[in-house]
Amino acid sequence: QVQLVESGGGLVQAGGSLTLSCAASGTIFSLNDMGWYRQAPGKQRELVAAITSGGRKNYTDFVKGRFTISRDNAKNTVYLQMNSLKPEDTAVYYCNSKWVYGTSWGQGTQVTVSS
């Protein structure tokens, strides 16, 4: 069974930075497409950024130029570097993995950006 454990969330002032990490186990990490999603109170969960098993990256418009997704297959970990954070980035951030045997989610990590 795939397990995903996020870390790195917290409280930061607007304009600040955070780096989220997601450690995977129970899978062949290099074969997984990985993604970061977020869900703000009262809103649907939405894709933030994704990186394929081959390293191709995709960002939604509202984070382009501010967030960077990366992966370290040797550490079975995917990262989300978040810069120039805005109050509207406040949400629970979830890690997601997809491979031929299914999709898994982490438990989420809270990111709060104060104005």
Q: What digits encode the pLDDT tens for the residues 7-37?
A: 999 999 999 999 999 999 999 999 999 999 9
- 59: tokens are 């960002």
Strands 91-99 and 33-39, how do they pair? antiparallel
- Model confidence at 1: pLDDT above 90: no
Q: 77: which strand partners? A: 23, 72
Q: How far apart are CA 30 and CA 52, in angstroms?
A: 9
Q: How far apart are CA 16 and CA 11, in angstroms?
A: 10
- The chain-wide mean pLDDT, for the chain, equals 97
Q: How many CB atoms lie within 10 A of CB 70?
A: 15
